[in-house]
Amino acid sequence: MSERRTENSPMWDQLEGKWEQFKGEVQKRWGRLTDDDMKEVQGRRNILEGKLQERYGKTREEVNREIDDWANELKL
């Protein structure tokens, strides 16, 4: 089982620092996120979680699992 990547983890710090590079990948993966959503997220995991819950009607646990899976695929 993969380790949950929290917003305060070193991995998430890297992702947040490179947000401009990764936001296109985020929109590819979660196509319902708008450009305005992406501007608001700015690499902050908690905002991304909320936007995904809002757009997809999923639970926090489901969203966290999806974000973790995506982040693990990046191999930062």
One-letter amino acid identity for 64? N
Any domain includes 39? yes
Written as six digits, the tokens of 56 are 């997809």
Q: Measuring CA to CA, how many Å separate 29 from each of 10, 25, 66? A: 22, 6, 10
- Block mean pLDDT (10 aa), the chain, length 76: 55 86 93 96 95 97 95 80
Distance of CA 46 to the CA centre of its chain: 8
For residues 40 and 47, the answer to whether their CB atoms sit within 8 Å is yes
- State the pTM of this model: 0.83
Domain count, the chain: 1
Contact call for residues 76 and 25 (beta carbons, < 8 A): no
Asked if residue 4 belongs to a domain, the reply is no
In-domain check, residue 3: no
**What pLDDT does 28 receive?**
94
Structural domain range at position 37: 10-74
Residue 31 in domain: yes
Q: Any idea what the CATH number is for the domain that residue 61 is in?
A: 1.10.1470.10
Residue type, 5: R
